[in-house]
Each structure stands twice: as structure tokens, then as C-alpha cells.
Chains A and B, each alone.
Chain A
């Protein structure tokens, strides 16, 4: 068989390469064509149920929260829920299944792709999906009277940045977990509290001071606030700080995810 590689022989490949990232992304996109219905269904229907249940159930008791109609308050808040559901969960389960049961990563790492590129591409893909699915509750809320605003055009971007962090979080958890049952601990002890105390369903500013401070360490809270401000008006520096917090969250979880997966995949 003819050797195509002789001309490139001796050329050392760089650390991050576009063809490696595209290769992994192409695999995900092609696979997505076989399961996009179920993924779209669960990522968009679930937050919509939260929106409807809280918005109308609880909304019949309280009409205004934090100065907004409760439906609109929850409608903007559940964007963060949609982001979480379409990033952290698929990243955790998807990564573990691809590693443990399908041995997909063995095949990818035998190709000219390094763990760092693999993790990055996987997280970018999940983040892109979160960017799209994150907008669903907003669209539903608009159907129930939320006024469109120019600021809302930033929501896919906010959802993407937050989604990248949560995707890396999920990959890291899958990297550290020795069995898929371990996920229960993370879901119950970490994700559920963060999800409930993010300012999605009730504002954090009525909580005790310590809880408010703790809330500032919850990336979901920053996502909730940013989306709410995208719909009702940004508040300058403090929102920029929230963007910074989400970027920092993404950077830290990204490196941790690479560390965890390298430990798992290369031995």
C-alpha cells in the first residue's frame, strides 16, 4: 500500500490541532443524526414543564417576584435549568458510556487525537447544544407574554459559555467515577441543591446573608441572573463580573476534566 505519510515524516504535530477537534466533532454530529429526537425532547420538554408547573402553579399564589411577573421570572430562570440538563447530564452519562461500554475513546485516541483535544471537542459540542436548547424556555415564555428584547440575542452565547463549564464538569465527574452508580452522589448532593438555589424559582436576595454569598459561588446563579438581565436590561459591571465567573468556571472545569480523563484513558 502506498505510503502517504513520507512527506510529513519528521513533522511534529502540535498540541492543539484543528483537524483533531473537527474529527471528534464530526463523529458527534454524525451520531447526533441518530438520536437528536430524544436529546431534543428531553432537553427542551423538561425545563418547559418546570416553567409551566412553577409559572402557573406557584404563579397563581404570587403574581410578582423581584418586580417581574412570576411567569416571566421563572421563564428566564429556567434557561439555566435547560442549560444544566442539556450539558452536565449528557456529558456525565455520555462520557462514561463512551469510555466504559462503547470503548469509543480507545478508537479515537488510537487516531492522531490527544486526550486534551478529545475532551475539548466533546465539551464544545455539548456546549453548542446547550446554547441552542437553552433558548427553548425563553421561546416558551414569549408564547406566554414575555416581551422580546434585543438583549435576548446574547442568551445563546451565555448558554454556550455556561454549558461549556457544565459539560466539562460532567466529563470530569465521569473521569473520576469508577461506576455509573457514583453519579447519584453528584446528582443528589451537588447538582440538585445548585439547581434549586440558583434564583430560578425564587430570588436569593431574601435569603440569609450566608446563603446569598454561597449563591455567588453557584455558576447556575450567574447564568440565571445574566439571562434575566438579557431579557429585562443588563446591569453593567456586576453582569460583566458574572460573565467572568462563568468563564472562570469553564476554564477550571476544563482543566480538571482533561486531568481526570487523561488519568482514566492513558495508563
Chain B
């Protein structure tokens, strides 16, 4: 039933001149789940995000967000969505609290609830003791947390996170993952675009892998791995000639391979695999397999 879907896209096409950024995309985000939009740079993730707030208008297809049809009813949908953009657009000369206050107005939080909404957002961002700091004095991680908290100031039903941890240190990234996981546990519906495979694997109930503007696979991470990469993978290291040889012989034996840069990974290997290091198959194997070894 459509009403149980927070986002429903059918056959969405978006062209920019000769470039087709989104090419017949179908996407379902059921309420209360976290869906990861995974794809290489240029796969159409950011355009998809902009389509969902009607900052880009689709050339073809149906778009529904929280039961509202886009672009016509987008404003009503936006009132109940929170957006954390890829590019930091905080007001840097304002304090943490002022940034939240401004957005409590933009998102129409009532006067009576405003104070509490700001306090709640400060708690989510864990920035209570930095409330009076100017944004340009914050670290990159703090700014990201504030961006997410700013998107939550009006208790949205749907949260759109565009590359929430791009460009951050691993420690800071983990801290943000904990925050997103907490929101997920509270039942917030989340659509998150990312090109970090680990991020999608850890946070998303369902992952949709995008390539060249359309979905090439969708499902829970574990299921995608089992379906496309099998249980185990054998990685063979060696000089380039040896790698090419392994690749050829494995493919001749009907096995799928992918390059990892330093090795050849042989997928779905059982008894017929070449000698090498065995490891469990992972989402990265699926990702490279489905989106290609070279990014163009």
C-alpha cells in the first residue's frame, strides 16, 4: 500500500542536456526503515536527493514523498522532511544555537515548542556545551552533527542524508554512525546516499545500488552479498601477469572475478578455486561487480 511507503519513485528520469543523470529509477523507502543509496560518484545519488525536495524537477516518472505527489505537493512533503546536505551550508557567522533557531522558524516549529525543539537538537548533536560557539569555530565532525541536528529540529517523519560522513576521519565517521543508528532505532525513516560501502552495510536495512542513474540491485546487505558474491571469496596476490592468468583461468572455469587493485578476488569459490586467501564475501564485492571496475 502506497501510504506505508515514505518514498515511492517509479520510472524517474532526469536529464541535464545530453546527460541523463537519473535513468528510469524505481525506489521504495518503507516507513520506519533506513535505505542506503549506494553508488559511485556520478551515479545519480545527489540528483535523486534533489528530486525528492523538488529542487530538481523530473522529466518523466512518478514521485511520491510521504504520500504527496511531487513536484506539485512538494512543499507539504518538505514540511515533514529533514535534509542534511552533502555541502555544508550552515550559517558560519552564527552560533550553534542561532543556526538551530533559524531553522526552527523555517520549519515552522510553534513558538511554544521552539525552546524545547532547540534543546532536543542540541542533545542529538551533543553540542550542548558549544551552543554559543560560532560555527566557524567548530570541527568538521561537530559541523556534520549540527547539520543533522538542524534537519531534526521539527521532528520530521523522513530524514534525507546526502553523504553524511563524506570527508571525515574514521573516528568522527563512527561517531556519526552511532548518531544515525540511534535515530534509526527511534523509528525515523531515513534515506541515506553514500559511496562508502561500510556505511551502507552498517546502517541500512535495505541497500539500493545505483549505477548510471538506475538501480542495479536492491535488498538487505546480507542478501545482496549472498545473491551476487556468494559466501566466500578467494583473493590471489601476485605480479600483474599472474593476476591476469588467474583471472583468465577462473573465468574459464565459470567463476566471476574482480580486481581489488592489488589482487584478484575470485567470487563464489568452492573446491574449484585457485589457491589464495579466503575471506567472507562482502558488499564491496557486490558493489564493484555491479557498478563496474572502472568509473567513467
Binding site for B on A (CB under 8 A): 1-5, 8-13, 19-20, 22-24, 26-27, 30-31, 34-35, 102-104, 106-114, 265-267
Q: Is the CB of A19 within 8 A of B108?
A: yes
Query: Distance in Å from the Cβ of A157 to the closest Cβ of chain B?
Result: 27
Q: Is the CB of A3 within 8 A of B56?
A: no
Q: Is the CB of B55 within 8 A of A106?
A: yes
Dominant SS at the B interface?
Answer: loop
Q: Across the A-B interface, how many residue pairs have beta carbons closer than 8 Å?
A: 111
Contact of B85 among A19, A27, A106 (CB under 8 A): A106
Query: Distance in Å from the Cβ of A34 to the closest Cβ of chain B?
Result: 4
**B 51-83 binary contact with A (CB < 8 Å = 1; else 0):** 001111100000000110000010110111101
* Given A31-B91, A103-B89, A267-B57: A5 touches B106 (CB 8 Å cut-off): no
Q: Is the CB of A34 within 8 A of B89?
A: no
A56 to B186, CA, bound (A): 71
Q: Is the CB of A13 within 8 A of B89?
A: no
- Please give me the residue from chain A that is nearest to B186 by CB atom: A1
* Segment at the interface with A among B94-102, B193-201, B267-275: B94-102
A34 to B102, CA, bound (A): 14
A218 to B205, CA, bound (A): 62
Binding site for A on B (CB under 8 A): 16, 53-57, 66-67, 73, 75-76, 78-81, 83, 85, 87-89, 91-94, 98, 101-103, 105-108, 152, 154-157, 183, 186-188
- Please give me the residue from chain B that is nearest to A3 by CB atom: B157
Q: Is the CB of B75 within 8 A of A266?
A: no
A13 to B94, CA, bound (A): 30
Q: Is the CB of A113 within 8 A of B106?
A: yes
Dominant SS at the A interface?
Answer: helix
Q: Give the residues in chain A near B91, CB-CB below 8 Å.
A: 27, 30-31, 102, 104
Q: Is the CB of A23 within 8 A of B106?
A: yes
A4 to B81, CA, bound (A): 11
* Given A4-B154, A22-B105: A266 touches B76 (CB 8 Å cut-off): no
A108 to B75, CA, bound (A): 12
Q: Give the residues in chain A near B187, CB-CB below 8 Å.
A: 1
Q: Is the CB of B54 within 8 A of A103?
A: no
Q: Give the residues in chain A near B16, CB-CB below 8 Å.
A: 267
* Given A109-B53, A114-B75, A267-B16: A27 touches B89 (CB 8 Å cut-off): no
Q: Is the CB of A112 within 8 A of B67?
A: no
Contact of B106 among A11, A27, A114 (CB under 8 A): A27
Q: Give the residues in chain B near A23, CB-CB below 8 Å.
A: 102, 105-108
Q: Give the residues in chain B near A114, CB-CB below 8 Å.
A: 75
Q: Is the CB of A34 within 8 A of B103?
A: no
Contact of B76 among A11, A106, A265, A267 (CB under 8 A): A11
A144 to B255, CA, bound (A): 92
Q: Is the CB of A103 within 8 A of B87?
A: yes
A5 to B93, CA, bound (A): 32
Q: Give the residues in chain A near B186, CB-CB below 8 Å.
A: 1
Contact of A26 among B54, B67, B105 (CB under 8 A): B105
Q: Is the CB of B106 within 8 A of A2?
A: no
Query: Distance in Å from the Cβ of A10 to the closest Cβ of chain B?
Result: 8
Contact of B102 among A19, A27, A112, A265 (CB under 8 A): A27
Q: Is the CB of A30 within 8 A of B79?
A: no
Q: Is the CB of B55 within 8 A of A110?
A: yes
Contact of A112 among B56, B75, B157, B188 (CB under 8 A): B75
* Given A5-B79, A12-B76: A30 touches B106 (CB 8 Å cut-off): no
Q: Is the CB of A31 within 8 A of B93?
A: yes
Q: Give the residues in chain A near B156, CB-CB below 8 Å.
A: 1, 5
Q: Is the CB of B102 within 8 A of A2?
A: no
Q: Is the CB of A107 within 8 A of B89?
A: yes
* Given A27-B91, A34-B94, A114-B75: A4 touches B53 (CB 8 Å cut-off): no
Q: Give the residues in chain A near B54, CB-CB below 8 Å.
A: 266
Q: Give the residues in chain A near B103, CB-CB below 8 Å.
A: 107, 111
A178 to B98, CA, bound (A): 31
Q: Give the residues in chain A near B75, CB-CB below 8 Å.
A: 13, 112-114
Contact of B98 among A2, A11, A19, A30 (CB under 8 A): A30
- Please give me the residue from chain A that is nearest to B78 by CB atom: A112
Q: Give the residues in chain B near A113, CB-CB below 8 Å.
A: 75, 106
